[in-house]
Structures are given as structure tokens and as C-alpha cells.
Structure 1
Amino acid sequence: MNMQHRRGQFELAMPIVIRKSCLAFTQEKSARDTEIRIDQLSMASRAVVSRIAADYDEMKPAWFCLRVLTGRESAVEKLLDDADVEVLVVRSGAYKVVRRGRVRIMPSRPVVAGYVLVRCLNLPAAMAGLAHVNDVLAIVGGASSPYRIHDDEVIRFKALADDGKYTHRVPVKVDYMVGEQVRVCDGPFASFDAIVTSIDMAEKFRVSVEVSIFGRSTPVELDIAQIEKM
């Protein structure tokens, strides 16, 4: 079956023919691209990390940070977990709030909105695979030199969440202002300086900041307990 489209603006008005072979080539190319992305992502898998780390002493896995669409953290987490990639989204516990005299249960949520942590080797193919995962916007620090997070900081961050540090039950007193310079005190961006860009204390106990990582400004939404005055 051929599809013909006549373009009146062409002087000779020659028909443009799209043949089955052209459509098949496009479909095959798309399939090949998908296979390449899957192969690249497999380079970040636990199996590959374990095999390479066992064979090469100098190759050590580390935690890296993916910036993802806010609200899609769980979807990215599941996709990576299904691909055998070690992934972590640290969440707060559910908590109660009172609004207009009614008690509402707020569900568990990511402590650092819009970010997912992965543990793998810093291999070009692995980073390319992670960068092409659906809903992933970027690798923090860039794919060529991604920002490494210390294992101890990830362990501490998860322990704080498990202990309920980010689970708020009553309003907390906060004395921060938009434009103020603060320091991130825990989580994947611990020890970085940041600028407060907005504060939402009424409902979510959240603060938005701009963190400078390797000279790049990175927007991050944090729990209010994750920042401190300088």
C-alpha cells in the first residue's frame, strides 16, 4: 500500500510516495533504539555492578541522584527496580493535620520531591541508560561527571526518615525568609549551601531552595527539617 501526497506549491507538483519499506525501516530503527536503551540500563543493574566490582578492585559502586518529574518518583522507582537497578526513594510517614475542624491523614510522600537515588557504577553506558528512563529529567552533576553521594549520608538519611524526623504532626516554628542563604543539613544534598526560593508552611512543611552543585543551580524541594541557618 502506497500513500501519495500532492504538494501544489511545487513547480512540478510531483507526488510524494511513502512505501511500506520506509515505514518498516522507521519501525525497525525505533525498535533498535529501544533495545540499545534497555542494554544500557542493564549496565546499571545489580548483576552487572556485582560482576564488575568483583573482577576489578578499582571499580566501586556509588550512590547517584536522578532528577525526575515531581510526582513520578514512585513510577521511576518501580521501573528501575524491575530492571534490577538498586534504587531508593526516602519517604516520610503518614501524619495527621486538622483543617476546618476536620482531621485528615496525609499520606506518605518522598522527603526530597523530584529526586530518586540509584546505586551503580559510574559507567558511560549505565549513565546513558539511566538518563533515558521515562520521567527522568537529568542526572545531577551531569552524565559525564555525576555527583556522588557518600554511603554514610544515604544510610543516615534513611535512618532519620525511619525514625520519623520528617513526619510532622503539629506546626513547627520556622524563621526563614525567601532569599536567605541556608545550609542543607541532611539527605543527598547535605553540606551544600542553598538559597531559599519559597516556603510552604501552612500545608506541607516544605521549602524550595536552589542548591549550587558543581557550579550549576539545582532546584530542590525539601522538608523544612533538612535545612539550617548559616
Structure 2
Amino acid sequence: MKPIDPDKVWYVVRCNINCEAKASDNIRLAGFDVYYPRQRIEKKHRRHNTYLVKERPLMISYIFVGMPKNDKLQHFGFVRACEGVEKFLEYQGKPIPVPGRDVQAIHEAEVDMRFDDTRAARIHRKEEAKTIKATLEMKYARGKEFAVIDGPFASFHAIVEEVTKSGNIKAMVSLFGRLTSVEFEAAHLTAA
């Protein structure tokens, strides 16, 4: 993915329905910088029981077009004439410029997978680990306090000792004035 040039003046272009890719290709062929922000999502295939990663527009029907700052004659007509382009985002008949650093920030967030809803993105953002046990160990760290929300120990507070091989959480609960070790399912605990 080509980095965004913050020295250019960027404009928002509205595209025809489902024509973001077509419009960005045609604008690029016309000689302008284009940024088409996308996000990736993961869907489970019902029949094959596998996960498919699909890419879709981050901002439906909108892309960014970069033009040189020093250019006295803006080439809005060339962009409007490209196939798939509907119009520029305008105010009182003039296209609205967007600061290059803002477009660059959106691009960096896309590269950093902040818009993606896939397992790889969650691992990259450290919201999830590669295995279920490692994810539970990350969420239920040793020494952290949790409230028990279900079962016979509901409304008690528990201090995590470890995550077992079976995926349960072993924690200490205060019963009759002394700490007792109890195993909980992850669904039975919530942050205190």
C-alpha cells in the first residue's frame, strides 16, 4: 500500500454505489493520488465450518483524492469525468479540502489493523492470543480480582491463581474468614 503524501491537498469523492474500486482505479489512471480505505472482516462459512476474510469499504461510497498544493488550476473536472465518480464532497459549490495529516492518520490506522474484525487483527492488537488458554491467561492474569456472577458463589469476589489446562479459572474465594481455592468457568467471572 502506497503511503499518503501529507503535502498534497486531499478531497473526498463520492462514488457510485459499489464503485469505490472502479473509481479509484480510474482516478489513478488519470494521474492523481487516490486512497481507498478498507476494512477486513471474518465470516464463518456455515457449510464448511471455516473462516473467510472479506474486504469491504471502510466508508461506503467515499474515497480520497490527492492533488498538488501549488497547482493554481485544480483538476476537479478530470476527476469528475472518471467512471464511477459521482461528485466531490462540497460546500457552497466548492470541494472541501481535507488536511493531509488526517488522511495519513486514517491510512496508518488501516495499516495497524484498527478497523479490521479478524482474528489476526485481534492478535495484532493484543486483544486475543493464538490459543484459547493463552487468551484466558491474558484476560485472567494471576492476582487480578474478579466478581463471581453465577453459581453458588455469586456476589463473592475471587482472586485468580491460575488458568487450568481445561480452560477453567482457579481462584481464591473468602469463605468463613479463610481463603479457599475454587474452580470457575470463564463465563462466571466479571471484572470487579
Normalised TM-score (structure 2): 0.50
Does the CA contact (< 8 Å) of 1:127 and 1:143 recur in 2? no
Give the aligned length. 110
Give the AA of the match of 2:10.
W
- Cα gap change, 1:63 to 1:143, in 2 (>3 Å): farther
Superposition map of 1:6-17 within 5 A: none
Partner of 1:133: helix, strand, or coil? coil
Aligned pair partner of 1:81 in 17, 24, 28: 28
- Cα gap change, 1:83 to 1:139, in 2 (>3 Å): same
Does the CA contact (< 8 Å) of 1:66 and 1:117 recur in 2? yes
Q: Cα RMSD over matched residues?
A: 2.5
Partner of 2:115: helix, strand, or coil? coil
Superposition map of 1:26-45 within 5 A: none
Q: What are the Cα deviations for residues 159-204 of structure 1, in whole angstroms up to 9, with x where unaligned?
A: 111111111137xxxxxxxxxxxxxxxxxxxxxxxxxxxxxxxxxx
Alignment correspondent of 1:92:
39
Alignment correspondent of 1:146:
95
Alignment correspondent of 1:127:
76
Partner of 2:75: helix, strand, or coil? helix
Give the AA of the match of 1:71.
N
Greater RCO (CA < 8 Å, at least 6 residues apart): 2
Does structure 1 residue 167 correspond to structure 2 residue 122?
Answer: no
Does the CA contact (< 8 Å) of 2:13 and 2:87 recur in 1? yes
Cα shift at 1:136: 1.1
Alignment correspondent of 2:106:
157
Partner of 1:129: helix, strand, or coil? helix
Alignment correspondent of 2:52:
105
Gaps of 5+ in 1: 1-59, 171-230
- Cα gap change, 1:160 to 1:125, in 2 (>3 Å): closer
Cα shift at 1:125: 5.6
Superposition map of 1:175-214 within 5 A: none
* Structure with the larger strand share: 2
Partner of 2:107: helix, strand, or coil? helix
Give the AA of the match of 1:140.
L
Does structure 1 residue 117 correspond to structure 2 residue 64?
Answer: yes
Partner of 2:37: helix, strand, or coil? coil
Partner of 2:95: helix, strand, or coil? coil
Give the AA of the match of 1:115.
Y
Cα shift at 1:123: 5.9
Alpha-carbon separation, structure 2, partners of 1:152 and 1:110: 20
Give the AA of the match of 1:167.
D
Aligned pair partner of 2:14 in 67, 78, 92: 67
Normalised TM-score (structure 1): 0.42
Does the CA contact (< 8 Å) of 1:92 and 1:166 recur in 2? yes
Cα shift at 1:140: 0.1
Does the CA contact (< 8 Å) of 1:62 and 1:120 recur in 2? yes
Task: Please identify runs of 4+ aligned residues in structure 1 that moved more than 4 A.
Answer: 121-125
